[in-house]
Structure 1
Amino acid sequence: MSASASTLPPIESLFDPNSKSYAENPAPQCLAIAARGPLVWYAPWQAWIMTQMPDIMDCWKREYLSSDFYDWEFAPPRPTEENWNKFEKALVGHSLLADPDHHRLVRRITSPAFSRNVVDNIQRQIEPHVTRLFDDIGTPESFDYITEVAQHIPFISITAMVGVPEKYWPEMKRVTQTFTETWNPTISEERRLRAQEDSNKAIDILQVVIAERRENPQEGDFLSALLKIEAANENFNEWDIITLILALIGAGADTTLIAQQWSVYALLKSPDQVPYALESADAFSNAFSEIMRWSGNSKMGFARYAPSDMQLLGQEVKKGQMVLMMPHLKDHDPAYFSNPEKLDVRRKFEPDVLFGYGPRFCIGAALAKRQLYLTMGEMFKRFPNISLAEEPERDLEDHNAVVFKRLLLNTNIK
């Protein structure tokens, strides 16, 4: 170690995403770890942190690191096929994460299921549920947006998209709340196993719903579109459909809950931006990228695992070690964004990497943005003078992002 490196303060003293100071203003800590180099060892997580955007985009594009949870050095033993439960059959046997070639195939052949027409149809199915949420709220002086609206949206979206009958809603609601815990490396194995059991129950439901839809396909329906694709492609089967739906739950559950509260908070902190953000669905798509950049709510990033001992960005990385790609470290860097502290929903993103990049761009991105646009539009239509009732307290317990304990809003109805 060089003399200059040995005099640097420990990185743990500069970067702690679970700290109150990070929750209140993550920018200094993000800039501090990015300044340490392109690949930084972070002992509390026993992981490397990839800090620079060109390297992150190259990793996304070339996929030279593994996305397979079981390649992590601290993962439980990979289950053998004869012992797979249903969740493991999806995660191991049909994983969109573990097999890059199959992932590309699934992305290519399922693109019609994410067409604008299908997304428009899903919006029409979601819209009455969003309207009902606000009908139930009524016209109070104030309400907590998280409990009254945000916590319901992931469940509404997935059940509307797949067409899950109401009798199955309790079990499906549980999996939308716990699915991202099924492979989270920072929580206990016991907690991961409980989340996996929730997923096993959800898979049982999905198999029933798929069987019903085979008998009665529907025009412009997401699941019916996937069944048509299955019939036309021998390398795409029912388990691929199940895995894709689980992936959408994983991508949309935590993310949607986080995005809902930060979208409200950001727009109410900068009310002059509301008309621009809600001008159209396309305008909100760009606005949402800016909201998430401005919020700085990410804690971890995208987990990858070294498939072998390797030299990476000047460091010796051992097989099985985690590498966390953290594109959000740049979000308040003036070298990337002018006036980064300002929310500007018309800011241009070239490229926009909020939902990933290249082969790993999230295929459900359009749906995620559309459900947010619907909800924001309904809220500001009902309560045009709505405002924050208080500065919300950050919740330091969330494993993945900076979130609020509550988001109390004043409706200001006269």
Structure 2
Amino acid sequence: MTTETTQSKTERSIEEVFNPASDAYCQNPMPQCRALAERGPMVFYPPWQAWVMTDIGDIMDCWRREYLSSDFYDWEFAPQKPNEDDWGNFEKALIGHSLVADHSHHRLIRKVVSPAFSRNVVDEIQRRIEPDIDKLLASLGEPASFDYIKQVAEHIPFITITRMIGIPEKYWDEIKPLIENFTETWNPTISEERREEVRQQCNHAIDLIKLVIAERRTSPEQDDFLSTMLELEAANPDFTEWDIITLILALIGAGADTTLMAQQWSVYALVKNPDQRDAALATPESFSNAFTEILRWSMNSKMGFARYAPEDMEVLGQQVTKGQLVLLMPHLDKMDPERFPNPEVLDVSRNFDPDILFGYGPRYCIGAAMAKRQLYLTITKLFERFPNLTLAEEPVRDNSNHNSICLKELRLQTNIG
């Protein structure tokens, strides 16, 4: 018997039992996630120079009390925060306003903008993007098979974000790089050269957003997110144009990369488990619950939610120094049979109480309902057009994304005729 097989998990280094960059994790994350969670509620992971918070109760408490910072510039390895006199568009949005605002301003912004995410507004957004979804699916024709990721999913984030916000089509080509790359600006794993490249893309795109806002002020009634924001600005003196810009960036950040992952894994799950399809897509409300189960079952997450220690402090019995990265990783227990009986089975009726897929407490994603609705619309339309979809082949998993396991392609058989 080899030394490797006789060593206990606790004797092996944390890098040996948990490595999201490994092929083993890509194929089946469950054993490694459970091994990491078993190390304790607060585990230091040297490859990321970060602490990992593993217990869902502790994570919810952290979200609720906000004792860790969400400001990227509080990270010990962040570039030097520029003086306010030197701020460009990117810094004004990322530092000065609601993406990383102080807690009181963040709560004010949430209160002010909550009407922009009401059920009526979500219904209107669905109406606006539905013709684009129909057009995209119609462009497929009647193929024997097609790659859902390349031919559908990769187009959805751009369509939904631009239509939802109300960005005129004449600006789409210029703003597309921002939508595709914005989330890289706070990715702790990229090079400084790449971060600066994306920062400059952001500066240009924010100029375009400011131009769109200026144009919209002359014709504000267009039933979209931007029109609603301008109404709120007029009624609330503490809500400024920069808050509007930052909320648009927040929608882009939350809706681009995340939407692409959600699209591919949702379609894969429902094609792989056709017995769950009708229940999942019965109503927008049933899909909301089904989506949480789909992402639990897919186990595609790798890193989690980034927070930073604002000072030297003790967190869950560990001494955390100022600036250290703390990753909240609620996905680690998604295959725990004590919490989720028969965890390997996709069950869209499974109960989640609370449902923390989009966060919890003051930082719960305010656009969650909107995100789930565009996903529900796209997938419903897909199965209406191709009701007999099956997998043409089992997709190959791709581990190149720093935050999620992807599928290299998702080739579907239409079985038409």
TM-score (norm 2): 0.97
Give 1:187 deviation, angstroms: 1.1
Equivalent of 1:361 in 364, 376, 381: 364
Mapped partners of 2:309, 2:8: distance in 1: 25
Correspondences of 1:25-44 after superposition (within 5 Å) = 25-44=28-47
Matched, 1:273 2:276: yes
The aligned counterpart of 1:296 is 299
CA displacement, residues 295-326 of structure 1 (integer Å, 9 cap, x when unaligned): 11111000000111111111111110000000
The aligned counterpart of 2:58 is 55
Structure 1: which amino acid aligns with 2:12? P
Matched, 1:117 2:140: no
Matched, 1:195 2:198: yes
Give 1:409 deviation, angstroms: 0.8
Mapped partners of 1:287, 1:7: distance in 2: 36
SS in structure 2 at match of 1:154: helix
Mapped partners of 1:151, 1:196: distance in 2: 22
The aligned counterpart of 2:138 is 135
Structure 1 pair 7–386 and aligned structure 2 pair: CA distance change class (3 A): closer
Correspondences of 1:186-335 after superposition (within 5 Å) = 186-218=189-221, 220-335=223-338
Equivalent of 2:129 in 126, 129, 132: 126
SS in structure 2 at match of 1:93: coil
The aligned counterpart of 2:412 is 409
Residue ranges of structure 2 left out of the alignment (5+ in a row): 1-6
The aligned counterpart of 1:173 is 176
CA RMSD of superposed structures (Å): 1.3
Mapped partners of 1:202, 1:7: distance in 2: 49
TM-score (norm 1): 0.97
Structure 2: which amino acid aligns with 1:239? W
Equivalent of 2:21 in 15, 18, 21: 18
Give 1:337 deviation, angstroms: 0.9
Work out whether residues 300 and 401 of structure 1, in 8 Å CA contact, stay in contact via their aligned partners in 2. Answer: yes
Comparing 165-174 with 303-312, greater Cα deviation is found at: 165-174
CA displacement, residues 201-246 of structure 1 (integer Å, 9 cap, x when unaligned): 2211111111122111125322111111111111110000000010
Mapped partners of 1:141, 1:91: distance in 2: 46
Matched, 1:159 2:166: no
Mapped partners of 1:265, 1:56: distance in 2: 29
Matched, 1:71 2:74: yes
Structure 2: which amino acid aligns with 1:257? L
Equivalent of 2:398 in 392, 395, 398: 395
Mapped partners of 2:383, 2:56: distance in 1: 35
Residue ranges of structure 1 left out of the alignment (5+ in a row): none
Mapped partners of 1:336, 1:18: distance in 2: 26
CA displacement, residues 262-321 of structure 1 (integer Å, 9 cap, x when unaligned): 001111111100000110111111111110111111110000001111111111111100
Structure 1: which amino acid aligns with 2:239? F
Give 1:98 deviation, angstroms: 3.9
Structure 2: which amino acid aligns with 1:318? T
SS in structure 2 at match of 1:215: coil
Work out whether residues 96 and 102 of structure 1, in 8 Å CA contact, stay in contact via their aligned partners in 2. Answer: no
The aligned counterpart of 2:376 is 373
Give 1:6 deviation, angstroms: 11
Comparing 171-180 with 102-111, greater Cα deviation is found at: 171-180
Give 1:144 deviation, angstroms: 0.7
Moved over 3 A (4+): 4-7
Structure 2: which amino acid aligns with 1:210? I
The aligned counterpart of 2:341 is 338
Mapped partners of 1:219, 1:406: distance in 2: 37
Structure 2: which amino acid aligns with 1:79? P
Mapped partners of 1:282, 1:376: distance in 2: 14
Mapped partners of 2:333, 2:233: distance in 1: 40
Mapped partners of 2:9, 2:231: distance in 1: 61
Equivalent of 1:347 in 336, 347, 350: 350
Question: How many pairs does the alignment contain?
Answer: 411
CA displacement, residues 36-89 of structure 1 (integer Å, 9 cap, x when unaligned): 000000000000000001110000000000100000000000011111110111
Give 1:7 deviation, angstroms: 6.0
Mapped partners of 1:288, 1:354: distance in 2: 9
